[in-house]
Chains A and B, each alone.
Chain A
Amino acid sequence: MIRYILRRLVLMIPVALLVTIGVFVLVRISPGDPALVFAGEERDPAALAAIREQMGLDKPLPVQYVVWVTKLAQGDLGRSFQTHQRVLEAITERIPATAELGLAALLFSVSVALVVGIVSAIKRNSLVDLLSTSVTLAGVSFPSFFLGIVLILLFAYVIPGRIFPPGGYIPLTQDVGDNLRRLVLPAVTLATASLAVNLRQVRSSLLDVFGHEYMRTARAKGLRERTVITRHALKNALIPVVTLIGIQIGAIIEGAFITETIFFWPGIGRLAVTAIPSQDYPVVQGVVLVSAFSYMLTTLAVDVLYAWLDPRISYETATA
């Protein structure tokens, strides 16, 4: 297992390098002079030249990349053009809010998908099944920002008593109740698309498992239906679901950009979205890199978990 993980990590190095090259190139092809954005009101040519030299913009591109990637390896993502705050610091300040929203969405998505998916598979072609299959197709087609707006409209303005606020964030450490009240709408918004995919996967892998002979054997042994489902069906059906949850983490990271914007949630997605119009490239670059690396590491973790859960997967052959 250790060898498998190490090999996967080694395979990840060239991909990670390509990711850094991609992000570096994206920033360098951006319109506008970074020195001008950094300088703000300053327009003195000598001062601009000094800023360019200080930022390393006077050096050839490959040299700029090497300098940038070396700093990156040391955890230096540069400074924001707007606030002059260290980008890494700006990101780490906002990670708790994004992580809280992402975890809440994942928890909601997985728990609802498990309950409804199991009922839907056991009672195939029932009303619950029909509803859940319709909801899954609708869920993947429903734009999250529209869902967010519908939820805000309903729960913050139409239904009296303002059950859930339309946006904003109160840290968990400051007021648990208010934090959770503000968390509900963004978490549901963020979870919906992945809920639809998870629900479909739980249902179809359970239906797949139901057709296996060991299920018939379990029933023939006289086991209770509940035991057959929990001990035999779920244990096997949930293995592909684990992989899918890993893929959903990508959807949750990208969904955070939209959801945090709608609900004024001060996470890393909103940090990047507000940095775009002001051409604050180091911030955008930092958030994109952090998102990509978190996604890569999560995918690795899920693959390892998958290999551990399913002994049929050979550590020697399972590669990227």
Chain B
Amino acid sequence: MSGTTLPVALRLGRADRATAVRSFLRRNPRMIVGGALVLAWLFIFVFARAIAPYDPIKVDVANALLPPSSAHFLGTDDLGRDVFSRVLVGSQVSLRVGLISVAIGFLFGVSLGLAAGYLGGTFDLLAMRGVDALLAFPALVLAIAITAALGPKIENAMIAIGIVAIPAYARLTRGQVLAVRAREFIVAARTIGASPLRIILWHIFPNVVNSLIVQATLSTAFAILAEAALSFLGLGPQPPDPSWGQDINYSQRYLPNLKWWMSVGPGLAIFSAVFAFNFLGDALRDALDPRLRRSG
């Protein structure tokens, strides 16, 4: 037996796992930056109400339209509401819509892609024509049309953005499933009598999950941007609840008076949240999915 390779332990211990994660992060430093930015936003999302120095919807006309100062970091709006507090609490709307709509898109898109790729035939044909029909609409136009039809509410914005996200997940998953389906371990699983559901969930899904994580991160960025756009058009949460897009729209009327802080706070918040998810998504793509890596 000398000279032959012995089987190695398949499961890593906790210490080995920590070392593997550390080495992975050392090789991909952009992930640390992206991850830190996303974690910072998630922290704000969870603790926004505790961090916010003022009540974001409390009207205080005596302090209306104050420029940024140590008392109000981002100034106050025309009703005397603290812009910084509205930006912090507004993150709860934007990130909630972002995360839930991505979950909707992920759940339906991945299920559709797994089923279409694995089953093939008529189901695949019909499912992919449905996906093509969704792709025939520019994404935001479809989200606007769905939210307009269902009514301007935060839940409807989530559904609309979730539906818009389905095609990307479905196509990506189906493509990956088609690539994996003919591999030996799937044929082996089928030969020993594993059920299609078991094969899909236990053998195929783990092989496509890396690309899906990348897609989920990037589509969270899109979802935050889309929610802000819907809110800007009046199709998101309704006043007086704080929402980044809606607050920017509202601030437009004060531009001629140069009350710039009303727009800048929520604008920079959208930018930095979307940037954080895009940055992490790009870093994840480079680290986890070399096939999608770009030379840029």
Contacts of A156 in B (CB 8 A): 255
Do A284 and B145 touch (CB < 8 A)? yes
- Judge whether A133 is part of the interface by a CB distance below 8 angstroms: yes
Report A194-237 residues with CB < 8 Å from chain B CB. Answer: 200-201, 203-204, 207-208
Do A141 and B271 touch (CB < 8 A)? yes
Do A295 and B267 touch (CB < 8 A)? no
Give Cα A261–Cα B271 distance, bound, in whole angstroms. Answer: 20
Task: Kindly specify which of A103-111, A247-255, A307-315 makes contact with the partner chain.
Answer: A247-255
Q: If A26-B145, A31-B151 touch, does A143 touch B252 (CB 8 Å cutoff)?
A: no
Taken residue by residue from 122 to 164, chain A's Cβ proximity to chain B (1 for < 8 Å, 0 otherwise) reads as: 0000000000010011101111111001101100111000000
Do B229 and A143 touch (CB < 8 A)? yes
Taken residue by residue from 10 to 26, chain A's Cβ proximity to chain B (1 for < 8 Å, 0 otherwise) reads as: 00001110110011001
- Judge whether B282 is part of the interface by a CB distance below 8 angstroms: yes
Given A19-B137, A30-B149, A258-B232, 9 more pairs with CB closer than 8 A: A137-B279, A140-B278, A141-B225, A146-B263, A166-B256, A284-B145, A288-B137, A288-B142, A291-B138
Q: If A141-B275, A143-B229, A320-B132 touch, does A295 touch B138 (CB 8 Å cutoff)?
A: yes
What are 14 A-B interface contacts by the 8 Å CB criterion?
A: A15-B133, A19-B133, A27-B149, A30-B149, A136-B296, A137-B282, A138-B271, A142-B271, A143-B271, A145-B248, A149-B248, A152-B255, A276-B233, A320-B132
Give Cα A31–Cα B147 distance, bound, in whole angstroms. Answer: 11
Do B136 and A141 touch (CB < 8 A)? no
Contacts of B278 in A (CB 8 A): 137, 140-141
Give Cα A272–Cα B221 distance, bound, in whole angstroms. Answer: 25
Which residues of B line the A interface, CB within 8 A? Answer: 129-130, 132-134, 136-142, 144-146, 148-151, 221, 225, 228-229, 232-235, 245, 248-249, 251-252, 255-256, 258, 260, 263, 266-267, 270-271, 274-275, 278-279, 282, 294-296
- Judge whether A273 is part of the interface by a CB distance below 8 angstroms: yes
Contacts of B133 in A (CB 8 A): 15, 18-19, 22
Task: Among A29, A142, A143, A251, find the residue whose CB has the most chain B CB atoms closer than 10 A.
Answer: A143
- Judge whether A51 is part of the interface by a CB distance below 8 angstroms: no
Contacts of B233 in A (CB 8 A): 257-258, 261, 273, 276
Contacts of A144 in B (CB 8 A): 229
Instruction: Return the contact of A258 from the options B142, B146, B221, B229 (Cβ within 8 A).
Output: B229
Do B144 and A257 touch (CB < 8 A)? yes
Contacts of B144 in A (CB 8 A): 257, 272-273, 276, 288
Do B228 and A29 touch (CB < 8 A)? no
Give Cα A141–Cα B252 distance, bound, in whole angstroms. Answer: 21
Contacts of A203 in B (CB 8 A): 296
Give Cα A204–Cα B136 distance, bound, in whole angstroms. Answer: 27
- Judge whether A296 is part of the interface by a CB distance below 8 angstroms: yes
Instruction: Return the contact of A277 from the options B141, B234, B274 (Cβ within 8 A).
Output: B234
Q: Is the interface of B mostly helix, strand, loop or mixed?
A: helix
Do A288 and B145 touch (CB < 8 A)? yes
Q: If A15-B132, A23-B145, A143-B229 touch, does A292 touch B137 (CB 8 Å cutoff)?
A: yes
Contacts of A185 in B (CB 8 A): none
Q: If A145-B245, A200-B296, A204-B294 touch, does A251 touch B138 (CB 8 Å cutoff)?
A: yes
Do B228 and A143 touch (CB < 8 A)? yes
Contacts of A277 in B (CB 8 A): 234
Distance in Å from the Cβ of B154 to the closest Cβ of chain A? 16
Instruction: Return the contact of A141 from the options B142, B234, B274 (Cβ within 8 A).
Output: B274
Q: If A14-B129, A27-B149, A157-B258 touch, does A250 touch B139 (CB 8 Å cutoff)?
A: yes
**Residue on A nearest B249 in the bound complex, by CB:** A145
Distance in Å from the Cβ of B3 to the closest Cβ of chain A? 40
Give Cα A158–Cα B288 distance, bound, in whole angstroms. Answer: 46
Do A276 and B129 touch (CB < 8 A)? no
Give Cα A29–Cα B147 distance, bound, in whole angstroms. Answer: 11
Do A276 and B148 touch (CB < 8 A)? yes
- Judge whether A88 is part of the interface by a CB distance below 8 angstroms: no
Taken residue by residue from 273 to 315, chain A's Cβ proximity to chain B (1 for < 8 Å, 0 otherwise) reads as: 1001100000010001001100110000000000000000000
Give Cα A274–Cα B248 distance, bound, in whole angstroms. Answer: 18
Q: If A23-B145, A145-B232, A149-B267 touch, does A295 touch B140 (CB 8 Å cutoff)?
A: no
Distance in Å from the Cβ of B264 to the closest Cβ of chain A? 8
Do B137 and A149 touch (CB < 8 A)? no
Do B295 and A208 touch (CB < 8 A)? yes
Distance in Å from the Cβ of B166 to the closest Cβ of chain A? 13
Q: If A149-B252, A277-B234, A292-B137 touch, does A143 touch B225 (CB 8 Å cutoff)?
A: yes
Give Cα A56–Cα B136 distance, bound, in whole angstroms. Answer: 28
Contacts of B136 in A (CB 8 A): 15-16, 18-19, 292, 295-296
Which 5 pairs, one residue from A and one from B, show the smallest C-beta to C-beta distance? Answer: A204-B296, A18-B133, A146-B267, A254-B140, A254-B138
Give Cα A208–Cα B130 distance, bound, in whole angstroms. Answer: 35
Contacts of B258 in A (CB 8 A): 153, 157-158
Q: If A18-B133, A153-B258 touch, does A257 touch B140 (CB 8 Å cutoff)?
A: yes
Contacts of B134 in A (CB 8 A): 22
Contacts of B235 in A (CB 8 A): 276
